[in-house]
Amino acid sequence: MIEKVIAGALATTLMVAGPALAAYPDKPVRIIVPFVPGGSSDITARAIAPGMEKVLGQTVIVENKPGANGAIAAQELKNAKPDGYTLMVGSIGTFAINEGLYKKLAYKPSEDFDYVSQLVRNPNVLVVSSKIPVKTVAELIEYAGKHPDQISYASSGTGSSDHLSAVMFRQRSNTTGIDVPYKGGAAAIADLLGAQVDVSFQNLGAVLTHVQSGKLKALAITGAQRSPELPDTPTMAESGIKNMVVYSWQGVAAPTGTPKDVIDKLHQAVSESLKQPRTQETMKKLGFTVVGNNPDEFTQFQKEEVSKWKEVIKSAGLSQ
């Protein structure tokens, strides 16, 4: 009789403990993207999903949740259960710039997310249209000095990395100009090619072919080192503009409070996916350099990015 009671109690204990002890993940993982399909964040998320599935042993679903410059998806991530089943692949804007740009933001990147990995990065390149008679950054600064408040800077939108790169450049070079925001990089580049606008800090991958064909002149790269794709184009530091290292980047995050072992499992899945030849090829076509750093490194990097862009935004009086 005693044996039956013990066996029954043990069975009950196992039934109760079973779900709690279930190994992560035991159901599909969802990645939300804060932008429309076809953009860098969307392509990056869909590129890493198949490799993550192999490591996790579960389906990884990518969903687009655009709106409010990424805030709609970010707020959904903030409010999601911190169990590793809802993630977000977002950009420098979502994870860093927005915190300093918007006074009333429905989420706070520095507090509401646990960071898994910075996936990829790509420097911006300072390009000028054919009508601007300059070949170097020094010549552009001289030209700007002779034409105050006349040079137009095209960007993919207010608060984008290309817009804020232009703002930072003018701050560092003590020059002036006119910001011309577009609804996306493609429109900005089109007018730059048509010489309707003068200057832009565009993502390297977006203008590389135009630079290589001679339709646009590349004056400098915002990366810490020269780009292999444009080896003859100097960095901003080499051009005399110190403290101006800028990368456009994508990363993956989970809601704050996600267990460390789950974050580690997710990082393993992301890291393995980024090593896959197919993923590497996709990133290369976009002009991205694979990063794949660990959670601690990405967390520290995110803090530094928030601080950097807050300073630029505050100095320019751009808070909204």
CATH number at residue 81: 3.40.190.150
Beta bridge partners of 126: 201, 220
Does 233 fall in a domain?
no
Reported as a pLDDT band with limits 50, 70 and 90, residue 58 is: very high
pLDDT digits (tens, 9 = 90+) for 162-206: 999 999 999 999 999 999 999 888 899 999 999 999 999 998 888
Residue 21 counted as domain residue: no
Residue pair 30/61 in contact (Cβ under 8 Å)? The answer is yes
Tell me: pLDDT of 11 over 80. Answer: no
125 beta partners: 202, 221
Q: Are residues 143 and 205 in the same domain?
A: yes
- 22 vs 137, more confident: 137
Q: Are residues 146 and 105 in the same domain?
A: no
pTM here? 0.86
- Which residues share a beta bridge with 220? 126
Among the listed residues 104, 129, 117, 157, the one whose alpha carbon sits nearest the alpha carbon of residue 294: 117
Tell me what pLDDT residue 215 has: 94
Residue 158 shares a structural domain with residue 304: no
Percentage of residues of the chain with pLDDT beyond 90: 79
Sign of the Cα torsion 66, 293, 224, 122 reads negative
Q: pLDDT per residue over 81-129, tens digit each?
A: 999 999 999 999 999 999 999 989 999 999 999 999 999 999 999 999 9
| 179, containing H or E segment | strand 178-181
R_g of the chain, CA atoms, integer Å: 23
Range of the domain at 171: 123-221
Structurally, how many domains does the chain consist of?
2
Give the bridge partners for 91, in sequence order: 250
Q: Is the confidence at residue 8, as pLDDT, over 80?
A: no
Decide which of 169 and 161 is more confident.
169
